[in-house]
Structure 1
Amino acid sequence: MLRFPGHGHRRPDEVAIGPLDLSARVDEALAVQAVAFGLGAEEIAVRRQIVLRHMTHPGARALGATTRDGRLVGFVYGMPNDRTHWWSTVVEPYLRARGNDAWLDNSFVITELHVHPHHQNRGIGRALITALTDGASEPRSILSAIDTDSPARGLYRSLGYEDLARQVYFPSAAKPYAVMGAPLPLLRPRGGPEGP
């Protein structure tokens, strides 16, 4: 289990990364996602059903970042990709147009990764995604992220993810996304497993 000490003016919570029963703690996870991603109650209600359905897929796994007192402050989940899943059907034409649709096969997809803003910039997101993908049997990983130069996209690039398609539009999403892919295992910083 990975541990991250608190720092600065924040409460000195120690955060541990470990297995997460996402179905049992879905409301806590979505509360983190709501703050981190700016989601309203209606969208959270829709996502709740999606998460619960995803966790029934073969190979779906989740990890959480929890404080000493058991508060969930971050989570990641994913599963082996399947071309019949909704996400794959949306991104496939964009990937095919760039000759990258083979990435949909034999890949582990990162479905969601979120860290509460009060716990960001401490390596927790990096630890969550690398620990989850380290357990994948697939040789590569794919994900989608809002298509802008954001800290999230910077993190993914530092892990070895590269753009496979950009300006990908999901129904009902206001902003375009980028689909990114990386060989597994993900890259580690030179400073050690957690980096600087």
Structure 2
Amino acid sequence: MAALSDVVVGPVNLAARIDEALAVQALAFGLTDEEIGVRRHIVYRHLLQPGAWALGAQTESGRLVGFVYGMPNDRGHWWSTVVEPYLRRQGIDHWLDDSFVITELHVHPAFQGRGIGRSLITSITDGVDQPRSILSALDFESPARGLYRSLGYQDLARPVHFPSAPSPYVVMGAPLPLLRGN
């Protein structure tokens, strides 16, 4: 477990705390109630995948203020089937093999900028056997993209269009372990 002043990062039973996690995600990502309902089912399904696990960032009182979860990539998963053609066009679809996918990473807006996201993502990737990590992020310059770049993630494909997502995404990848520093 990593301590960041009054916040501790460590294992969390995300399935048991799904409503708290989705409340953080809704604030951090701007989700509607309908989107939260859809994501609840997606998270439960993801957590049943082999090798899926989660970490949480909690205050001393136990309030969940951030979380990350991911799993070893499987080309049969929906996300992979969407991003594979984009990566194949670049000649780099091998990134989908032997990779750990950061499925979700969110920090409550009031707790952002304190190193919590960095601690969550480095802690989860430090605990995996895969030699690289991949993720998707909204395709605009944001603090999240800056964080990912500082950890060694590079743009692999963009713009990537997910069905029913109004904004384009970028797929990013990094060798593991992730870079340290800021």
Is TM (by shorter chain) over 0.5?
A: yes
CA shift, 1:16, in A, is 0.3
2:69 counterpart SS class: strand
Structure-2 residue corresponding to 1:3: 3
Within a 5 Å distance, the mapping from 1:118-129 to structure 2 comes to 118-129=110-121
Say whether residues 1:141 and 2:137 are aligned partners: no
Distance in 2 separating the partners of 1:55 and 1:146? 23
Residues matched between the structures, number = 182
Alignment equivalent of 1:105, drawn from 69, 82, 97: 97
Q: CA deviation at 1:2?
A: 1.0
SS of the equivalent of 1:94 reads: helix
Q: Which amino acid aligns with 2:36?
A: I
What CA distance in whole angstroms lies between the structure 1 residues aligned with 2:107 and 2:92? 29
Alpha-carbon displacement from aligned partner over 1:47-78 (angstroms, at most 9, x marks no partner)? 00000000000000100000011000000000
| Structure 1: 4+ residue segments shifted above 4 A | none
Residue number among 120, 144, 149 corresponding to 1:152 in the alignment: 144
Give the structure-2-normalised TM-score.
Answer: 0.99
Output the CA distance in 2 between the equivalents of 1:19 and 1:71: 14
Corresponding residue of 1:81: 73
Selected match of 1:183 from 169, 175, 181: 175
Q: 2:86 aligns with which of 86, 91, 94?
A: 94
For structure 1, list consecutive stretches of 5 or more residues without a partner in the other structure.
6-13, 190-194
1:167 aligns with 2:142: no
Q: Equivalent residues in 2 for 1:7-46 (5 A)? A: 14-46=6-38
Counting aligned pairs with the same residue, the percent is 73
Give distance in 2, aligned partners of 1:33 and 1:99: 33
SS of equivalent to 2:148:
helix
Deviation string 1:32-51 (CA, Å, 9 cap, x unpaired) is: 00000000100000000000
- What amino acid is the match of 1:66? Q
Tell me how far apart the structure 2 counterparts of residues 118 and 3 of structure 1 sit (CA, whole Å): 17
Counterpart residue number, 2:39: 47
CA RMSD, 1 decimal: 0.5
- SS of the residue corresponding to residue 138 of structure 1 reads coil
Larger Rg, first or second structure (1 or 2) = 1
Q: Unmatched 5+ residue regions in structure 2?
A: none
